[in-house]
Structures are given as C-alpha cells and as structure tokens.
Amino acid sequence: MEQLGGLLRRAQRLSPGPSQTIYKRVEGSQQGRLEEEEEEGEEGTEPPAHFFPMELRGPEPLGSRPARQNPGLWAAAGRRAAPYLVLTALLIFTGAFLLGYVAFRGSCQACGDDVMVVSEDVNDELSPDSHQGTLYWSDLQAMFLRFLGEGRLEDTIRQTSLRERVAGSAGMAALAQDIRAELLRQRLDHVWMDTHYVGLQFPDPARPNTLHWVDASGKLGEQLPLEDPDVYCPYSATGNATGKLVYAHYGRPEDLQELRARGVEPAGRLLLVRLGVINFAQKVASAQDFGAQGVLIYPDPADFSQGPHKLSLSSHRAVYGHVHLGTGDPYTPGFPSFNQTQFPPVQSSGLPSIPAQPISADIASLLLRKLEGPVAPQEWQGHLPVSPYRLGPGPGLHLGVSNHRASTPISNIFGCIEGRSEPDQYVVIGAQRDAWGPGAAKSAVGTAILLELVRTFSSMVSNGFQPRRSLLFISWDGGDFGSVGSMEWLEGYLSVLHLKAVVYVSLDNAVLGDDKFHAKTSPLLIGLIENILKQVDSPNRSGQTLYEQVVVTNHSWEAEVIRPLPMDSSAYSFTAFAGVPAAEFSFLEDGPAYPFLHTKDDTYENLHRVLRGRLPAVAQAVAQLAGQLLIRLSHDHLLPLDFGRYGDVVLRHIGSLNEFSGDLKARGLTLQWVYSARGDYIRAAEKLRKEIYSSEESDERLMRMYNVRIMRVEFYFLSQYVPPADSPFRHILLGRGDHTLHALLDHVRLLRAGGPGATSSQVARGLGFQESRFRRQLALLTWTLQGAANALSGDVWNIDNNF
C-alpha cells in the first residue's frame, strides 16, 4: 500500500498542471491534414471512433496573447482557402485543355487524309533505350527519306543485271545465298528460305525448235532460220503443227472474229500475231479457241519507240514469253510443290494444246511478203518493210516445238520485321529475282529496291520506329515462268495468309520509263495511293509531286493512273487467288513501250539510256512510294483501306448489263438480285464507316475488330461456290471463270446476234445464250456479293438487309 501511494505521488509531480497546457479543438485545414493521414494509414490501426484531433500548445507568457491573435487569424483563413484555390486552378487548367483539344480535332478534320497519321499512340513507337522525342508521321517520313540512299540503288541494279539468274541455274542458287546473307546482315527478326520442286519447260539443245515452208504436196521445204534460237515460249504444246499462214493482228478474240467477218478463216491455220496489248498466253488461248493449229509471235516496230533519238529493238531479236494461261506450276494446279510430293496426274486447264514460238521481225517480214488475200485494215498495218500487210492465207508452214519439261528446284527468300502490337498481321512486299536474260528492267530494279527498303526499315527500327504490324520482305524465284514462286507459296499457306496478310506490294516492272506512272491495284488501295502520291516528288519534274505530274495531262488522276491487275504480275495471284489486296507500280515511257523487256537486250546500259540518266532518281521515287505505303499500312491504328469503294466498282460493272434488261425481261429473267446484293453491300460499308467514326482509336480491342473486318474485304469477293483447284482465280471481279461478272456480261451479250458478245470464246465455238447457264452465273455472282455484304456487317445479329 505504501508502494502504491508513492507511485501516485510521483505521477502527480510528473503530470502538467492546468497553467502549463491548453487543449484546443482543431478546425479547418489541420483536420483535413489529419484525415488524409488516416486514409494513408488505412492498413494500420484505426483511431478510436470518438477521436477528436487536438493541438498541443505550451504555456503562453502573460501579455503576449493579444499580440499573436492577428497572424493566427490570417493563417487559419489561408488554411481554409487553400482547397478552393487548388480547385479553381484545376478547373482553369481542365477548361484550357478541353478548348485546345477541340481546336486540334477541328483542325485535324479539316486536314482530311493528311491527318490519318501514323497512329496517335506515339510514345509506344520508341525503343526502351531511346531518348528521342515523339515520332509523328512527318518524323517518320523524314527518317525514312534520310536512310533511303539513291547511290546504292543504281549500283545494285548494275551488279544484279550482270549475274546469271535463270530459274534453277547454278548462278541463281548463288544469288539466292547472297541475298539471304544480305538479309541476315540487316539483323531482321527472322530470315529463312523455302524450296519448291516445280515443273519448268526449257528448250532442248539437241532438238531445237524449227520452222519450214511446206510445198503444195505437203512436203517440208526450206527451213527458215530462227535468229534467236534460245528464245522460246515456256509451256507451249510440243510437237508439230502444219497449216497455211494468216495474219491476225494482236491475236485478240475480236481480231480473230474480224478475220472471219472478212472471209478469212483462222481455224486450221498458223497465226502470225504481233507482240503487245495482251500477253502471250492470252494470244495462244484465243487462237486455240478459234481452232488455229499454232501461233508465231513477233515484235512489230510500230509497237515500240520510234525516232532518231529513241532506242529500238534489233530486227533480229525475238521476245521471250510463257503461254500458260495462269500462274504457278501448271503441273500441280491448286497444290503447293513442296519436296517433290506426289500429286494426282493433273494439269492446269490453262496449258495450251497448240504449239507457239517467238520469231524476230526479220522472219516476220519474210512471212508477210508471202501472204495473199484481203488487205489488212488500216489499224492493223505495221512498220515492217512490207506494204501493205495482207491477211492471207499464204503458203503452208510447218512449226516444230521440242521443248522439254524438267523438275526444277526454286527458292524464295524471306525476311521479317515483327510488329509490336499486331505481329500476326503481315504487310508483304516482294520482287521477282530471276530473269531469262539480263533482266535489268524485269527484275534487277525490283530486287535492288527490295534490298534498299530492307536496309532502310532496319535502320529505322534501330532508331526508334516500331511498326504495329509485321513487315514481310520476299525475293521470289520462277517469276518468268508465270509467278511460279509466289503462287506456290500462296498455295502452300493459303489457309493462313487470307487471315493474316493485310496487303501485298509488288516491285516487278517498276521502271520501264519515266514519263508516265501507273498503279495496277485493288480498289481498296486507290485512296491510300492517291494520298501517298501527293507526298512523293516527281523524279523528272522539279518542284512537283507525282500527283501534280499526273493531273497535268488528265484532271481525273484515277483515269490517268489506276489500272487493273494483270495476270502476269505476282500481285494478281495475291488478289484473285488469295483474296489479299495488292498493288504494283510502274513508270513508263510516254507512247510505245520499253522495247527490251524479255529480251537479251534488257541490260543496265540500255535501261540507263532509255531513261537518259534518270534511272537512279526514278528507282528512288518507286522506293519512296512503296516505303511510305508500308509505313502507313504497318503502323496506322486503323487500316487505311477504302472498303466502301467496291460498291462503286460493282455498280460500274453491272451498269453495263442495264442495256440488256429488256432482252432478259422478255425471257422472264431479271438482274434485280444483283442490284439488291450491291445495295446491301453499300449499306454495310456505310454502317461500318459510321461505327468507326464514332469510336475511340485508343480502344485497342475495338480497333482490332474493325481491322479484321476491313482486311478481309478482298477475301469476301472470292466465290465460295467454286473449288480452288478447278477455278483458282475465284475473285468475282478480277478472276477468271464462269463465276465472274465479266463472264456473265459476255454471256448476256450473246442475246444479241452480232453484238459485242462475238468477242467471247463461246462465239468461237458457235455457242449461244443458255438460260440455265445464265441462272447459275447469276446465282454464283449474287450470293458471293451478298456474302461480302453480310461479312462486312460484322456479327450475325448486326446484319440488317431485306434480301
């Protein structure tokens, strides 16, 4: 008890007295400070429920209290006003930010396409160790042009054209290894090769092709010398063909029908046709449809550059060209030729059954002099020293073709820069590597541009550029035999590529002159190409862009520049077979074509002379155009593909059918279904456009969904109702076959005897309009177009049509 009393007395001595301490209730900002500290300590021990913040003060000296009252009041007032000052500042800042944002958005919309810059998520474009600022579209343009070198292009073109590059040759194998090594030096993410064993056709040195006169008794007479014995037509039918000679202009169906109208029958004859307008395969296919026995193809001087300052093809030169009406290995149609896999013994329907052979202008002159019969129309007259050209028939001729087929390994080379955000979407660019002769214009230019773009983009990546999508660079083999390398790759990976390939850009035939510019392209890319043309300088008109150059001669830039994809381009297979939008760019001479293509004279020196020293500048212009296209396609958040344009394309095509509506109605038939499907497509495209406009670009999931729908639009136009092995080019607008809009139009024209339908092969075989065939064609076309409209609409619950 005494101990307890001692403890109490000690506590009283240590406790402060009333005059030593004042406890005061805390108000205003100090309470806010303590409450904030409580929030920060939520995970610790909570204060008692009835805790009141207090302020501990020491004793104040007498007489000092009045002197300190005013500063205390001011401090308390300041503490109470502080939150309101902070709130006011925040409101002012937010208002200014919103005002600036609205002004920026308004200016962007006024800029149009120039604002569809490389995505706005610019901070993600930089590498982790980069200290650069934000990369906008102008920054990327400047970076690209800085790394793109003109001097390298010219040197690579020269060196490539000096190397042997025939598909399957030892020289080609060495070049393939060199290009692979170059891609490896650029430190791309992936570099690889694939090899296909394909059936190629070559001349037989032991049994060269021959051409003889035939006398009246049918015996072989004098042999006509083939001045270019190494020149031949790959995939020509082998064997002998005998018949009287007939001149058939360019060998088009309308030319052969004109012969018949003038009393000259092409059936059973050998046809002499001029190079140009359509390709070799189409000439031979038309001749076969009209019953001809064989075809001789020659270059007429009228179709090439003329004049004292123009280079022209030597009169003893023949021109090379394959005659397979298709692409890829014709002995494995619809299947890839990997590892000599055994396939069913089938051949492409595009292989001809009649022989064909190129001849020189000199030999053609000898043949034309022997022709009798009617004088050829004025527009059929050429510039050979024969006047006038006659249609024939002339003396008998015997053509012998001994080409042989060989299983040949070809190799495609691939390099890849992986995308940052969407690596499973591929932007593909490729160039043919092989050439029958020197091939400076045919493939050396494209190969040089491809390697320069690889080097340029590799340097850009090292300096901060990170594409959203993967860039795939490809060097193709077997191009001179009908895009064999590219088609075999497409056949092998079709199930993957139609889901992942965004666009294909071809660099083949890029520089054949410098006066005109053509873009052979899918409609989906027309708007983007227009935008890029406005940003690339003309190579031969100082101070002008390419767009300004082309509109000088034609205010409709599209009519001046845009052309359909030709079958002899690798881009054609990507679009018509795989459903991937594609483009190929070409600079051309104003007037007659570059004369040395597919000849032994397609050398670097001749190409340089034709362009009057501007070859490096023109090649760089193509590289700039292709490179800026790649930047936009690989990096824009939303794919810059104009999916609505196909509605206008379909309308333009089916508009040609309107004049036959009366003829169809008389038979109880109508085209209303096609118009209805086209209307559904237009509505689906407009609906998608509005959805995109009202959405946020920062929503990655939404952008991904939109991009998937946009990138597959081309695939939607492949008819799902015809088998790829039988009809590989299933595109209803660009393909070949009874399912296409062109085939339907040709068939409908047969309703009027003697009309334009006479140009079709059905007329050649004496076939007329068939109602059952028309109904099938209409169904194939309509349901493919309707399927495209449904797919563009998105999910099935979003489809709204009255079809």
What 3 state SS string does 589-648 have?
A: CCCCECCCCCCCCCCHHHHHHHCCCCHHHHHHHHHHHHHHHHHHHHHCCCCCCCCCHHHH
Low-confidence winner among 47-61, 130-144, 340-354, 420-434 (lowest mean pLDDT): 47-61
Tokens of 417: 């820069």
Q: What is the pLDDT of residue 661?
A: 85
pLDDT at 607 over 60: yes
pLDDT at 490 over 80: yes
For the beta carbon of residue 547, count every other beta carbon within 10 angstroms. 19
Q: What is the pLDDT of residue 762?
A: 52
More confident site: 15 or 251: 251
Of 2, 410, 513, which is closest to residue 168 (Cα–Cα)? 410
Q: What is the pLDDT of residue 108?
A: 40
pLDDT at 271 over 90: yes
pLDDT at 409 over 90: yes
Peptide bond just before 358 cis, omega within 30 deg:
no
Cα separation, 784 vs 716, in Å, equals 7
Task: Return the CA Rg of the chain.
Answer: 37
pLDDT at 244 over 80: yes
Cα separation, 304 vs 295, in Å, equals 21
The residues spanned by each domain of the chain are 143-201+406-635, 208-401, 644-753+766-793
Cα separation, 474 vs 604, in Å, equals 23
pLDDT at 98 over 80: no
| Local structure of residue 490 (DSSP, 8 states) | H
Once rounded to an integer, what is the mean pLDDT over residues 92-118?
Answer: 49
758-801 tens-digit pLDDT: 444 554 455 688 889 999 999 999 999 999 999 888 777 766 65
Cα separation, 707 vs 704, in Å, equals 5
Backbone angles phi, psi at 222, to 5 degrees: -65, 140
Of 359, 24, 37, 412, which is closest to residue 212 (Cα–Cα)? 359
Q: Helix or strand or coil: residue 246?
A: strand
> CA torsion angle for 255, 258, 264, 265 (degrees, to 10)?
70
Query: For residue 141, with 0-12 CB atoms within 10 Å meaning exposed, 13-18 middle and 19 or more buried, which class applies?
Result: middle
Q: Do residues 704 and 639 lie in contact, with contact meaning Cβ atoms separated by under 8 Å?
A: no
Once rounded to an integer, what is the mean pLDDT over residues 245-267?
Answer: 96
Q: What is the pLDDT of residue 58?
A: 42
Q: Do residues 539 and 618 lie in contact, with contact meaning Cβ atoms separated by under 8 Å?
A: yes
Q: Which amino acid is at 505?
A: V
Cα separation, 551 vs 12, in Å, equals 104
Peptide bond just before 595 cis, omega within 30 deg:
no
- The model's confidence at residue 67, banded by pLDDT at 50, 70 and 90, is very low
- The model's confidence at residue 121, banded by pLDDT at 50, 70 and 90, is very low
Q: Do residues 448 and 210 lie in contact, with contact meaning Cβ atoms separated by under 8 Å?
A: no
439-482 tens-digit pLDDT: 999 999 999 999 999 999 999 999 989 999 999 999 999 999 99
More confident site: 89 or 235: 235
Q: What interhelical angle do 28-40 and 69-111 show, nearest 10?
A: 60
545-574 tens-digit pLDDT: 999 988 877 778 899 999 999 998 999 999
- The model's confidence at residue 306, banded by pLDDT at 50, 70 and 90, is low
Q: What is the pLDDT of residue 60?
A: 44
Cα separation, 743 vs 737, in Å, equals 7
Cα separation, 418 vs 468, in Å, equals 8
Q: Do residues 196 and 329 lie in contact, with contact meaning Cβ atoms separated by under 8 Å?
A: yes
Cα 753 to the center of its chain, rounded Å: 40
Sheet strands (E) in 84-216 = 190-202, 210-214
Tokens of 653: 């095509």
- Catalogue the long-range contacts made by 186-189 (C-beta closer than 8 Å, 24 or more residues apart): 186/415, 186/454, 186/455, 186/458, 187/458, 188/415, 188/416, 188/417, 188/454, 188/458, 188/473, 189/416, 189/417, 189/418
pLDDT at 586 over 50: yes
Q: Do residues 641 and 524 lie in contact, with contact meaning Cβ atoms separated by under 8 Å?
A: yes
| Local structure of residue 49 (DSSP, 8 states) | T
Q: Do residues 574 and 493 lie in contact, with contact meaning Cβ atoms separated by under 8 Å?
A: no
Q: Helix or strand or coil: residue 90?
A: helix
Tokens of 337: 């030729």
Query: In the predicted model, what is the mean pLDDT of the chain?
Result: 83
Cα separation, 525 vs 583, in Å, equals 8
206-226 tens-digit pLDDT: 999 999 999 888 889 899 988
Tokens of 361: 């202008």
Sheet strands (E) in 275-352 = 294-298
Share of the chain above pLDDT 70, in %: 80
> Which helix H or strand E contains 431, and what residues bound it?
strand 422-432
Superfamily in which the 143-201+406-635 domain is placed by CATH? Zn peptidases (3.40.630.10)
Low-confidence winner among 127-141, 295-309, 775-789 (lowest mean pLDDT): 127-141
Q: Do residues 578 and 502 lie in contact, with contact meaning Cβ atoms separated by under 8 Å?
A: no
Cα separation, 570 vs 477, in Å, equals 11
Tokens of 696: 């946020």
Conformation bin of residue 307: beta by default, left when phi > 0, alpha when psi is -120 to 50: left
- The model's confidence at residue 753, banded by pLDDT at 50, 70 and 90, is low
Cα separation, 739 vs 532, in Å, equals 34
CA distances, 60 to each of 26, 63, 65, 334, 597 (Å): 18, 9, 7, 101, 106
pLDDT at 418 over 90: yes
Domain boundaries 644-753+766-793, corresponding CATH code: 1.20.930.40
What does DSSP say about strands 582-588 and 516-521: parallel, antiparallel, or unpaired?
antiparallel
Q: Do residues 530 and 562 lie in contact, with contact meaning Cβ atoms separated by under 8 Å?
A: no
Once rounded to an integer, what is the mean pLDDT over residues 359-371?
Answer: 95
Q: Helix or strand or coil: residue 376?
A: coil
CATH 3.50.30.30 fits 208-401, yes or no: yes
| Local structure of residue 102 (DSSP, 8 states) | H
